[in-house]
Each structure stands twice: as C-alpha cells, then as structure tokens.
Amino acid sequence: MRTLSIATVAAMALGLGLVFFYAPLEAEQGFLQKIFYVHVPLAIVALCGFVLGGLLAIQHLRTRDSRWDMRSYVVIHMSLIFAVGTLITGSIWAKGSWGHWWVWSEPTLVSFLIIFLLYATYQPMRFAIEDPERQARYASVFAITAGAFVPLNYMAVNLSTAYVHPRVFSSTSNLPGSMALTLLVSLLAMVLLFATLCKYELTAKHARGQLRALRRRLTEEAETPARRPRSAAPSPEPLRRAASDFHPSTAATARSIGGSSA
Amino acid sequence: MTLRLLGETPALPLHTAGKYVAGAYIVLFLLVLIYVAVMAVRLGRIERQLGELLELTERPPVAKDPSAARSGELEAEALDPVHAESTPA
C-alpha cells in the first residue's frame, strides 16, 4: 500500500507540473482549458468505476463471496465521490466558458447528472435492507443494472444530434503530443488516486470487521468461563483463531495481545 | 537552484480564467483532504476500539454461577496472590 501511495503522490505532482508548466495553452479556450486535465480524468475514472462496480457485483453473485460485494460497494462509493468532483469542476468550467453554472440543454451534462443521481440512490437502497445477505444481493443487482446503463448512456449521448459539449479530448490522437502526454499522466494520476483511496477504504472496513469479530469472540469467551482452559487470564487462542479467519495483519495483532495477556 | 528554476518558468496567465482554474483544482484538493480527514477519524476510532479490546483481554472473566466464580477466584489467587488479596471477597 505504501508503494501505491507514493506512486499516487508522485504521479499527481508530475501531472500538476505538466499541466501548469509543460502543456501549451489551447488556442480557443486559453488557460481555462487547464480545467480539463482534472475534469476529464475525474469523469473517466468515475464512469469506469461505476462499470467496475457492476463487474465486481457480477462476481459476487457468481461466487456468493461477500468480499466481492464489499469491493463493489467501495468502488461505487469512491466513484460517487469522483462524480461529485466531476460535476463541480464541470460547472466551474461552464461558468468560465459559457457564463452559466449549469446548462440543461446540454446532453452530456444532464446524462452525467442522471448517472450521478442514479448512483446516489445506491447507498440509501442498500442500507434500507437489514438482512445482510439480502442487502448484498439487492445491491449487486442494482450495481449490475446501473453499471450496464453507464455505457449505454454514453453511447446514446454520443449518437444524439444535439451534440454541443466541447470535445477537447474526444481522443488523444487529435491532440498535440505535449497535451496528450499531460492528459495521459493526469489520467494515470487519477487512476492511482482512485486505487489508493479504494485500498484505504477496504483496509479500514477490513480492520473494523476484524475488530468486531475479535470483540464478539472475547465477549463470548468472557461470558462462558467454564468452557475456557483453566487459567485466570483469558486465553489468547480465541483471538488468534478469530484473527486467522480474516487477515494476516490482525493475526499479528492478536498474537501480540495474546502474548501480553498470557 | 529552486529560485532560479521558478524565475525561468513562464508566468501563468491568471488574470482572466485563473480563478476558475484555481477553483477546479482546489475542489480536487478539498475532496482528497476531506477524505483524508474522514480516514483519520476512522483510524482514531479503530485505535480506540483496539484499546478497549486490550482492556477486555486484561479484565478478569465474569462468572455466571457462584461455584465457577469461586473457582475463578481461587485460580486468580493461585496465580496472582497480591492482586487477589486486594480484591474484596
């Protein structure tokens, strides 16, 4: 995880350096176009994240392994945050370029907002269901359906005739080399940032789950002294057992707890 | 060296679109900053829970029936007579 974090920081620093000191000013939009080096990668990563969430949900339904559901949830959660960033930076650009924060007649903006609002219902829907298994199953179905909607929506917008959204970066092939390089580095930095934040989120959720499991085991152990080995101190064995069910890092923690109490 | 490099870099045309570009990049920075702050709060909570678990491992077991409780006390006395003496019977 440390390598990923360092790579993210390095890529972001490099990307910012390229954006402000290497990429030339665009002829039509001038300095305002620099917003696209953050707006476009945010949008691409958010949309790809939504699709990835659907793919992970498919894996969850196939295997019934709750870890896939957790990954799908975290990826969608993070994509939603990136989508908020996309909407805000897009609005800032629209204000600078068009003089309006939002233009309802513009299909790309509205379609992205629809996708955002669709995914904004994911978490309330998920946490409205109490049974964990049903929650995971329904959330997976939602993630797959909404994930399939994302590319369809993108294609529909591209095919629409009322096509006025500025396509500064419709493909990197029509960009000058320096701009294309800057965009690619910015995109890489955003992908790394997404991966790092997802990794942190997953690790935090793992740690919380492990702590809950350990607490449950310890509480059970404390409440049933007759079943425990004859010792005044609680046995470290349940801790080790609980930890080994989850993650090697907690197993090490449990060993250290067990060692200190024994 | 750094000053020389900064002196050689071209001046950014911040007069017109500068505030919008700055705004967009500040938004990204704030999003990451808020996320890091949330993660810090979560880490603090996990640390506190870990401390509670450590306390739980050090606490003597709660006995349900008196015989078990008595045997637990005897065991405790056997293992840690100093602590057992200070505990009221």
For A116-172, how does the pLDDT look when each residue is reduced to its tens digit (9 = 90+)?
999 999 999 999 988 889 999 999 999 999 999 999 888 888 777 555 555 555 555
**Burial annotation B15-53 (CB, 10 A radius, 16+ → b, else e):** eebeebbebbbebbeebbeebeeeeeebeeeeeebbeeb
Instruction: Check A25 against B13: CB less than 8 A apart.
Output: yes
Which of B15, B21, B49 would you mutate first to test chain A, the one with the most A CBs within 10 A? B21
Q: CB distance from B47 to chain A under 8 Å? A: no
At residue B85, does pLDDT exceed 50?
no
Q: Are A111 and A156 in contact (CB under 8 A)?
A: yes
Determine, for residues A193 and B32 on separate chains, whether the beta-carbon distance falls below 8 Å.
Answer: yes
Q: Which residue of A has its CA nearest to B76?
A: A232
A133-152 residues touching B, CB cutoff 8 A: none
Task: Select from B89, B25, B76, B20 the least CA-distant residue to A42.
Answer: B25
Residue A219 C-alpha, separation from nearest chain B C-alpha, in angstroms: 8
Interface check for A167 against chain B (CB to CB < 8 A): the answer is no
Displacement of CA B9 from its chain's centroid (Å): 42
Q: Can you give the residue ranges of every domain in chain A?
A: 25-175, 212-261
Token reading at A151: 């590319």
pLDDT for A38: 93
Confirm whether pTM is higher than 0.95.
no
How many Cβ pairs within 8 Å bridge chains A and B?
117
Q: Contact, B20 vs A32, CB < 8 A?
A: yes
Q: What is the pLDDT of residue A121?
A: 93
